[in-house]
């Protein structure tokens, strides 16, 4: 059947199956793919909502889980944990559906959270500690100058808040008005860029921490926020690098791209020494 006549999440699922099923013999691979495709096309018709498709596919199981039953190990060489992979599929499906596989890059800043105060960033309700906090590890920060006021203004206009437990840092890296921080981290940034990368840093860390802790509710919420990121359009990405390397793999439980992106994203916000869980 033509992929145009199937739900986009089914197409994405089959694409991942094709990439992961190479170790199978050709006859078994074709046979299994046909069985899977027929089942998913029947249970997830093209007119299904993304939420309905997400639940149906999650109930069926990820490609890695199905292939694990065939004796095929995960891409990293480890056997698949079905519960982890199923949870990751649910969350990644939310990400792909909401993002529409839109473009994004490893350095794609969003618009800061629209719930700050007139003078200082608003701090969210108490929650798990975040790497994005009032005094993060990194260069000295200042609370004056053009970049600082751009930073505050950008926070005010962010369409979505930070995760619980995160807080915008107090001030911007020193030297930002001159085009370079004291240690050269943000060579051409502005206050708005710091705010936007702070937002992305917080939500990327939230997703990874929730996944590592098995907190599906937090992971779903973080996935939904990451899905919105490409739509903000703050950085042009004609090749869709961020969506391809970071966003799409989440739908199949692959957080490798996100783990690599996190330290770089946080560094663009002047938050250093961040390691992915």
Task: Read off the pLDDT of residues 17-66 as tens digits, 9 standing for 90 and up.
Answer: 888 888 999 889 899 999 999 999 999 898 887 767 777 787 787 788 78
Given this model, what pLDDT does residue 160 score?
A: 92
CA distance 46 to 244: 23
If you write DSSP's letter for every residue of the chain in order, what string do you get?
--GGGS-HHHHHHHHHHHHH-TTS-HHHHHHHHHHHHHHHHHHS-TTS-HHHHHHHHHHH--HHHHHHTTTPPPTTSSPP-HHHHHHHHHHHHHHHHHHTT----TT-PPPPPTT--SSSPPP--S-S--SSSSS-SSS-EES-SHHHHHHHHHHHT-SSPPPTT----SSEETTGGGTS-TTSSSSS--HHHHHHHHHHHHHHHHHHHHHHHT-HHHHHHHHHHHHHHHHH-SS--TT-HHIIIIIGGGGGT--HHHHHHHHHHHHHTT--S----
Residues forming beta bridges with residue 142, ordered by sequence position: 172
Do residues 53 and 93 lie in contact, with contact meaning Cβ atoms separated by under 8 Å? yes
Given this model, what pLDDT does residue 11 score?
A: 87
Given this model, what pLDDT does residue 74 score?
A: 52
Do residues 259 and 124 lie in contact, with contact meaning Cβ atoms separated by under 8 Å? no
Q: Which residues of the chain have pLDDT under 70?
A: 1-4, 51, 73-128, 178-189, 236
Given this model, what pLDDT does residue 251 score?
A: 82
Question: Rg for the chain (alpha carbons), in Å?
Answer: 20
Given this model, what pLDDT does residue 248 score?
A: 86
Q: In terms of DSSP bridges, do strands 172-173 and 141-142 run parallel, antiparallel, or are they unpaired?
A: antiparallel
- 127-154: pLDDT as tens digits: 457 999 999 999 999 998 888 888 998 9
Given this model, what pLDDT does residue 118 score?
A: 47
CA distance 218 to 210: 6
Given this model, what pLDDT does residue 195 score?
A: 92
**Nearest one of 203, 125, 94 to 158, comparing CA atoms:** 203
């Amino acid at each position: 059947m033509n992929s145009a006549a199937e739900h986009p999440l089914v197409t994405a699922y089959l694409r991942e199956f094709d990439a992961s099923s190479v170790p199978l013999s050709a006859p078994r691979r074709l046979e299994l793919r046909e069985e899977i495709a027929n089942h998913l096309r029947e249970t997830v018709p093209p007119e299904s909502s993304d939420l309905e498709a997400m639940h149906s596919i999650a109930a069926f199981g990820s490609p890695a889980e199905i292939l694990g039953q065939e004796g095929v190990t995960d891409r990293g060489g480890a056997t698949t944990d079905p519960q982890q992979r199923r949870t990751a599929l649910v969350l990644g499906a939310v990400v792909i559906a909401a993002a529409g596989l839109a473009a994004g890059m490893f350095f794609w800043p969003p618009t800061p959270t629209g719930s700050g105060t007139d003078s200082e960033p608003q701090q969210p309700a108490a929650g798990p500690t975040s790497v994005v906090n009032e005094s993060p590890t990194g260069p000295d920060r200042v609370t004056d100058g053009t970049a600082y006021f751009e930073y505050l203004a950008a926070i005010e206009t962010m369409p979505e808040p930070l995760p619980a437990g995160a807080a915008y840092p107090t001030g911007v890296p020193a030297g930002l008005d001159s085009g370079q921080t004291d240690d050269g981290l943000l060579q051409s940034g502005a206050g708005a860029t710091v705010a936007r990368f702070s937002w992305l840093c917080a939500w990327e860390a939230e997703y990874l921490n929730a996944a590592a802790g098995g907190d599906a509710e937090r992971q779903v919420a973080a996935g939904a926020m990451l899905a919105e990121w490409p739509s903000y359009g703050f950085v042009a990405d004609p090749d869709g690098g961020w969506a391809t390397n970071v966003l799409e793999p989440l739908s199949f439980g692959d957080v490798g791209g996100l783990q690599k992106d996190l330290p770089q994203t946080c560094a663009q916000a002047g938050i250093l020494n961040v390691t992915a869980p």
